[in-house]
Structure 1
Amino acid sequence: MSQASQRMEHEPQQDGVPLSQIPIGLVIRGLVAMLFAVSLVGALHGYIGLRLLSEPNLGQPWTAIGWTALWLLFFSIPLGFIASRRRPTLLNQVLYWTSMLWLGTFGLLLPSVLVADLVVGLWNLLGSAPEALALARGKAVAILAVVLPALAFAFLTARGRARIERLKIPVKKLGSGLHGVRVVQISDIHIGPTLDRHFLRRVVEQVNALQPDIIAVTGDLVDGSVRTLREEVKPLSELRAPLGVYYVTGNHEYYHGGAAWAAEVSGLGLTVLHNEHRVVERSEARLVVAGVTDHEGGRMDPAHACRPDLALAGAPEGVPRVLLAHQPRTAFLAKNLGVDLQLSGHTHGGQLFPFMFFVKLQQPVIRGLAHIAGVRVYTSRGTGYWGPPLRLGPAPEITELTLVAE
């Protein structure tokens, strides 16, 4: 394997991002957005309580108990996020698990209540709806009958083994020596408060069992600091591929010290592609493997601005190019750079129905193979999950891409 002439040194290790180093404008926007989000979510909790607790007229003390539990669960959401940033004590773990399980439950209850209200509204228009109290109670029972099994299924899916997705990708100018080269991609593992070394070791075992030629880890590896998660990510060092194991940062690394995580992952034996590339070779055939920092990395650390042009500077002409970039929209920055295939993640495939439909507001693609700005992009559904330990719809995946000569 030969190395590209363009390299960048990693910054000194740091653990997390001090608040004083974050631009004040970014802090203010974040606080305003957080206040708006908390207010909106609180109002929606009130709406759910009205439909599931007050209208069915459960009687006392059950209605009061229900409302008390609902507001306690609402306040658990911000408390859980605070707990996730603190030392992982038993209390903080309980708080985080409670908040994330409730956040996922809330995410399923809300659209279910909205749909039920729509159905009842149409029923009333037809003039055939039953008596109001019976209808309210029947609606509440129907919502719970849908949501509770969905929660169980989503939990088991999120915590279960990742599915192996196999694709064959034709690549122009791919030499015969690399025809059939297998690239295995994992992405968005999110080791942190609810996913630990045991989950990661299972992923590593699944990847190694595929006997890949190249392994690509496309960001959002962690949700926590190096100090907190150093032991949890050690199974990464067991990844094996003869043509290299490559890693690029995702946006979540920058919430906990992007430079520190790049240094830590490098110490585990992975090749960190910080806006740079490598040239792999087999039987006189060559392939450029390039990687960029996260699309938003420069907002948290100017030295980590996403630069596909820099990553491919000096790459040999006429040699196929694979770009590792956490977010699919990085393809807009990579157009006209001769990229044959971009591997991305970030979207989780939407993770929890029906929220995948909102991903399109930020990303040009949710999952799978697509063309973006003239660049062919494969977007993984992700191997772990973020936040609620639930996956309803898009299952976790490990992707095996076989590159063949076009």
Structure 2
Amino acid sequence: MENQISRFLVFLSVFTLIIGLGYTYTGFRLIQGFGGQSWVSWLTWGLIFLFTLSIPVSYYISLTSDQERIQTVFSYLAFTGLGFFTILFSLVLLKDITTISLNGITSFFSPSSDADNGGLIQRRQFLNQVLSFSVLGLAGGLTGIGFYQAHKKLKVIEVDVLEKNLHSSLEGFKIVQISDIHIGPTIKKSFLEAVVKTVNELEPDLIAITGDLVDGPVSKLGRHITPLANLKSKYGTFFVTGNHEYYSGALSWIRELKGHGIQVLLNENRILQHGNASITLAGVTDLKAGSIIAEHKTDPHQAMRGGETTDYKILLAHQPNSVFESAEAGFDLQLSGHTHGGQYFPGNILIYLAQKFVAGLHRHKSTWIYVSRGTGYWGPPLRLGAPSEISVIQLKKNS
């Protein structure tokens, strides 16, 4: 427990330092763009100081306060502010890169005389001021749109996985996948109740939860996952750990989930008989699990053991990058999450630097992989270009 707290404090300290530097750069560049008036400077630096501190303070309140409503409101303010500044920093950086590039090109092709320098400087200052106000307004608008999209009705995504040699009994076999709900500072029991209601209406053969269900300890969030006990399907609900479970006390959460009738797959499988066909349903621990709990090191080959001869083999793995090893282990289909589809700008661009498979259905060698954009969100309560989803995966014969 002490190691877990120490890791969290290190993470929080580094995270706060990084966002503080980003906020400082953003404030410095905007103050210059607005002309550097003293009242603008004081206001900007005051807001930056408050928003930088709001993240560690919100975590402290969430871990120590019993006043859940206060904690939720404060977390919304802190993380919405984080989302706004993330977008604003990206736009300011893009503005600066574009401006420097254009000024360099203009100076090279149209050198100015000393007489022209005064007018050129004034024009550049005016353009910088217009651009500064524009990026501020655009960041505010995108934050508002992202906030709305993160809280509107969940989108149900239907996906057909086409297989040439699919057993006839498996035609139309339906899996409903939920992933990356992130119950924690701003996502609570009521959200999960709505998810459970939608999932049950889809009448799945089985339900897969592919990790990052929670962001916090069982002692604080245990009551918020109770709706999971109401999930209904033919073969039950299966869960694999994500990286955030290991930040939140994975062993405690595994016990808690089992108490609600959830089957947790830790590098293991279950053999399901569906009509005249058999299915290997396996699950692996998160790719990072072994660095926190040594015996939880992810192992798709171990997860396959005993299920090699069934008619269809499915792996639940939180991170898409597990597919490189799961394909070697012989799985036909992998269901993953983790990426959130990038969640919002600029994440939905930068995510491609870390992930080959970001969202949707893909093929790697002989293995299909479906990557959910996530059912909830992490951190900033925003979604831009990557809508939250409940995924309905159906097996179909490719005739």
TM-score of the aligned structures, taking structure 2 as reference length: 0.89
- Are 1:244 and 2:236 matched, yes or no? yes
- Are 1:82 and 2:60 matched, yes or no? yes
- Are 1:118 and 2:97 matched, yes or no? yes
Return 5+ residue gaps in structure 1 as ranges: 1-17
SS in 1 for 2:281: strand
Displacement, 1:169?
A: 0.6
Any residues of structure 2 matched to 1:161-180 within 5 Å, and which?
A: 161-171=153-163, 173-180=165-172
Displacement, 1:37?
A: 4.8
Distance in 1 between residues matched to 2:387 and 2:66, nearest whole Å? 28
Question: 1:346-366 deviations in whole A, cap 9, x for unaligned?
Answer: 000011112123323333311
SS in 1 for 2:379: coil
Q: How many residues align?
A: 384
Any residues of structure 2 matched to 1:6-405 within 5 Å, and which?
A: 18-20=1-3, 27=7, 31=10, 37-57=15-35, 59-89=37-67, 91-124=70-103, 125-126=105-106, 131-171=123-163, 173-372=165-364, 374-405=366-397
SS in 2 for 1:326: coil
Displacement, 1:121?
A: 3.1
Letter in 1 for 2:80: L
Displacement, 1:318?
A: 4.4
| Further displaced range: 174-183 or 114-123 | 114-123
CA contact (8 A) 1:246 1:271 kept: yes
| Further displaced range: 298-307 or 60-69 | 60-69
Question: 1:272-317 deviations in whole A, cap 9, x for unaligned?
Answer: 1122111222221221111111111121112322121221111151
CA contact (8 A) 1:165 1:400 kept: yes
Higher relative contact order (CA 8 A, sep 6+): 1
Which residue of 2 is the match for residue 6 of structure 1? none
Question: 1:2-25 deviations in whole A, cap 9, x for unaligned?
Answer: xxxxxxxxxxxxxxxx12479x9x
CA contact (8 A) 1:290 1:312 kept: yes
| Further displaced range: 68-77 or 387-396 | 68-77
Distance in 1 between residues matched to 2:295 and 2:21, nearest whole Å? 41
Distance in 2 between residues matched to 1:194 and 1:108, nearest whole Å? 20
Displacement, 1:132?
A: 4.5
Letter in 1 for 2:2: L
Which residue of 2 is the match for residue 14 of structure 1? none
Distance in 1 between residues matched to 2:207 and 2:14, nearest whole Å? 41
Displacement, 1:220?
A: 0.5
Displacement, 1:122?
A: 4.6
CA contact (8 A) 2:218 2:253 kept: yes
| Further displaced range: 365-374 or 174-183 | 365-374
Q: RMSD of the alignment, in Å?
A: 2.4
Displacement, 1:154?
A: 0.3
Displacement, 1:62?
A: 3.7
Letter in 1 for 2:83: G
User: Cα–Cα, structure 1 residues 211 and 67, in superposed 2: closer, same or farther, change >3 Å?
Assistant: same
Displacement, 1:34?
A: 6.0
Distance in 2 between residues matched to 1:251 and 1:177, nearest whole Å? 35
TM-score of the aligned structures, taking structure 1 as reference length: 0.87
Displacement, 1:226?
A: 1.2
CA contact (8 A) 2:33 2:132 kept: no
CA contact (8 A) 1:345 1:382 kept: yes
Distance in 2 between residues matched to 1:129 and 1:365, nearest whole Å? 46
Distance in 2 between residues matched to 1:221 and 1:134, nearest whole Å? 49
SS in 2 for 1:278: strand
| Further displaced range: 91-100 or 191-200 | 91-100
| Further displaced range: 354-363 or 313-322 | 354-363
| Further displaced range: 80-89 or 194-203 | 80-89
Displacement, 1:138?
A: 1.3
CA contact (8 A) 1:123 1:129 kept: no
